[in-house]
Structure 1
């Protein structure tokens, strides 16, 4: 597969990743209409480049993962039984725009280029976030509200502030995205990408280590339990992958069985010491109100279990049944804080099964992409490289976050999920390395191809 990449495509790719993961920055800075204008321009630009560079052929539906196509088709068909057809149309437009941008990234960039573009965008978010918090703490010295928002003298909940100005108090900081959990998760993804690039030799050591410090510092300042949990799980997956690479094909089944046993024991351990673990992160037993939200959403989903209430992506709080469905301390939530529960609510058991199949299939392909030797266009084995670890590590972080957030279904989460799902399908047989360097032998991550 050829990648006719130039400066225009690379720049657009960085902007797409930056906007998908930093959407709240645009909304806080320009308001909803400004954000929609930015998103529309990026979507149109992606479509134009896909057309002018003749990249649509690589994205024929027969080449895409079947579960991805079926799940997307179900979202569209849900308009027929949606309880809120107008809101479903808006949700489908948002989903289609994000999906189109993801397909542009898949068709226009190789894996090294995707990793580089995502890393650059996430680093920008982290850097701007720390700079923003520094400016607020030094010059403003009080909480800052988003621009173009009028609360008309009402008491503003803490969650509505763009920044609380707590940098010099040790946080938690919210950064330009205005949410500490979202900023912390950006730091997790950025850390994965930086370390992969560093190990592969794609970045200079000094600047890369500096960004590692920025990502770790951001995690410390956000104090996000969900992001730290996702990072620990991702680190565990890295350990499993390193063992799998050395174990060889005959022993990987036993390795996976061992991993399943460890996961089961971990679940038992977490359940046993749940209160103590939450206490370490300053969390209440209801996970900051999530348990009540899950209960309300489960009860609502049970009323229409087969096909759900209709796709909506982010909840629309101005329509039934989302008006008042989840509210805490004056904040109306726009998600179920669980991607799987959100899918069940919106497209029912049928949608949940398709989504689970899509996730499992993507994980399966990403696993073999990471542990098997990549092949060249002639089917010959190439040396393993560190870069092939990136998709499954990013996917692991996304799936870990999906248990307590619904971000996997929207904006940056959905964009990255689609990129991994489709790219691993298209490039499973013949992987374009395009690294420009010899595979490094760092920590045994890369090794010669077997004869």
Structure 2
């Protein structure tokens, strides 16, 4: 007979291993990430930290309970671990050890949640959970904007809501800025489209979701939304061409697409001023250009290691900006909370070495996920590369992918891509083949 005391640990383990708990954990983690600003502004940053820490503890417990399902080979991409190690090492040369350590713990905390999600949910389950969270968050954003701009006709400064929806925008929702709302809306469009194509939800809910995300993307009046939409659309078209190509012609198709992308990027750089005028974003780009030029000046004294990892330059309204970002803001007479570009932010914080590691993380994830989406039959595999396109393109205009939900989604996509294609798995296969009596490739 099993006593109650003996049954309790087994019950807890079964609960942690259950699919229902995995879904609940995924929804809670994603909901916390997308509602981070709302939680911080209403309940305080300590509450947000407590929620993330509690979720991390639960996540570790889930991984321990499911340890028989995990393999070191697919646990985490090497590029991700290397980037985390380098950012942690920057505590040795930073001017503010406390800020660097807390910023790294934040990076690690959100990354750990993403790691757990990627291991306890498959791609379709992740898309479904994300779709549910985004529907609620975008719906809440629209409700807050209507309450502020139509019903009460007063702004909500604590949320950054200006209440301009009656004038056609720009609106911010519960995400603080119009650019962040536009970014989330584009992520919603990708996710809702995949839900629709996989018939995971009803047609009525799909139409509602896509309409909601599209409406908020337009009302955000973010100059980056159009760029994101165009790039995601082009990536979707290219991926469709690859998926329809015969297996023997996919490699040359990939090479042609890569060449077209390189030519398009070069053309966009040459015509950048005309494109900026077309998007009516000259003032925004001028601000960014001044900031990036100043950052490059500060990179020269420490080109390899940077000035130390800090993530967001300013964590709260009353907190000081660490060195040298306070000097950069003083020189520009501005109050930037980031470099307004993930790549420049990584460059000044952890140098060229950190930028190479971050670039490797993004590039490897992109290539892996693209190849998988091009060869697998199910359309759900297209979610990962399309989401990465949105993340990496938006990184050229904002630093969202280095903190909070942006970093979390980047890690989810990177781990998901690594689970499908891994160079370490190929090495293992080669070793196993060389050590066996099976004939080599093409010897049949």
Say if 2:328 is the partner of 1:325: yes
Q: Secondary structure at the match of 2:325?
A: coil
Say if 2:165 is the partner of 1:167: yes
Deviation at residue 136 of structure 1 after TM alignment: 0.6
Alpha-carbon contact 2:17-2:66 (below 8 Å) kept:
no
2:406 corresponds in structure 1 to 413
Q: Secondary structure at the match of 1:229?
A: helix
Q: Distance in 1 between matches of 2:18 and 2:416?
A: 16
Alpha-carbon contact 2:369-2:385 (below 8 Å) kept:
yes
1:85 corresponds in structure 2 to 97
Deviation at residue 98 of structure 1 after TM alignment: 0.6
2:415 corresponds in structure 1 to 422
Deviation at residue 235 of structure 1 after TM alignment: 1.1
Describe how 1:381-396 pairs up with structure 2 within 5 A: 384-396=377-389
Alpha-carbon contact 1:324-1:332 (below 8 Å) kept:
no
The partner residue of 2:175 within 166, 174, 177 is 177
Q: Distance in 2 between matches of 1:56 and 1:123?
A: 34
Aligned residues: 402
The partner residue of 1:266 within 264, 267, 282 is 264
Describe how 1:302-381 pairs up with structure 2 within 5 A: 302-316=300-314, 317-326=320-329, 332-373=335-376
Describe how 1:133-148 pairs up with structure 2 within 5 A: 133-146=145-158
Alpha-carbon contact 1:59-1:107 (below 8 Å) kept:
no
1:312–1:329 distance in 2 versus 1, CA, 3 Å = closer
TM-score (norm 1): 0.83
Q: Distance in 2 between matches of 1:343 and 1:56?
A: 36
Alpha-carbon contact 1:133-1:175 (below 8 Å) kept:
yes
The gaps in structure 1 that reach 5 residues or longer are: 147-160, 374-383, 430-451
Alpha-carbon contact 2:76-2:418 (below 8 Å) kept:
yes
Describe how 1:103-114 pairs up with structure 2 within 5 A: 103-114=115-126
Deviation at residue 198 of structure 1 after TM alignment: 0.6
Q: Distance in 2 between matches of 1:325 and 1:57?
A: 48
Relative to structure 2, which stretch is displaced further, 306-315 or 32-41?
32-41
Deviation at residue 48 of structure 1 after TM alignment: 3.0
Relative to structure 2, which stretch is displaced further, 319-328 or 212-221?
319-328
Deviation at residue 324 of structure 1 after TM alignment: 4.0
Q: Distance in 1 between matches of 2:179 and 2:231?
A: 16
Deviation at residue 303 of structure 1 after TM alignment: 1.4
Q: Which has the larger radius of gyration?
A: 2
Alpha-carbon contact 1:296-1:326 (below 8 Å) kept:
no
Describe how 1:169-208 pairs up with structure 2 within 5 A: 169-208=167-206
More helix by share: 2
The partner residue of 1:237 within 216, 235, 238 is 235
Deviation at residue 328 of structure 1 after TM alignment: 10
Relative to structure 2, which stretch is displaced further, 37-46 or 197-206?
37-46
2:50 corresponds in structure 1 to 37
Q: Distance in 1 between matches of 2:242 and 2:74?
A: 31
1:410–1:386 distance in 2 versus 1, CA, 3 Å = same
Alpha-carbon contact 2:170-2:219 (below 8 Å) kept:
yes
What value does the CA root-mean-square deviation take over the aligned residues?
2.3
Q: Distance in 1 between matches of 2:282 and 2:401?
A: 24
Alpha-carbon contact 1:67-1:357 (below 8 Å) kept:
yes
Describe how 1:212-231 pairs up with structure 2 within 5 A: 212-231=210-229
TM-score (norm 2): 0.85
The partner residue of 1:124 within 115, 130, 136 is 136
Deviation at residue 249 of structure 1 after TM alignment: 3.7
2:254 corresponds in structure 1 to 256
Q: Distance in 1 between matches of 2:156 and 2:380?
A: 40
Relative to structure 2, which stretch is displaced further, 123-132 or 65-74?
65-74
Residue by residue over 1:300-350, the C-alpha shift from the partner in whole angstroms, topping out at 9 and shown as x without a partner, is 122101111121211244321121423799752221111111111111111
The gaps in structure 2 that reach 5 residues or longer are: 1-15, 315-319, 423-444
Residue by residue over 1:209-235, the C-alpha shift from the partner in whole angstroms, topping out at 9 and shown as x without a partner, is 111000110111011121221121111
Alpha-carbon contact 2:307-2:324 (below 8 Å) kept:
no
Q: Distance in 1 between matches of 2:392 and 2:124?
A: 22
1:379 corresponds in structure 2 to none
Residue by residue over 1:379-421, the C-alpha shift from the partner in whole angstroms, topping out at 9 and shown as x without a partner, is xxxxx11101111110111111111111111111111111111
Residue by residue over 1:58-112, the C-alpha shift from the partner in whole angstroms, topping out at 9 and shown as x without a partner, is 2637743221221211122222222221111111110111111011101211111
Q: Distance in 2 between matches of 1:223 and 1:116?
A: 28
Say if 2:69 is the partner of 1:48: no
Q: Distance in 2 between matches of 1:344 and 1:210?
A: 41
Q: Secondary structure at the match of 1:287?
A: helix
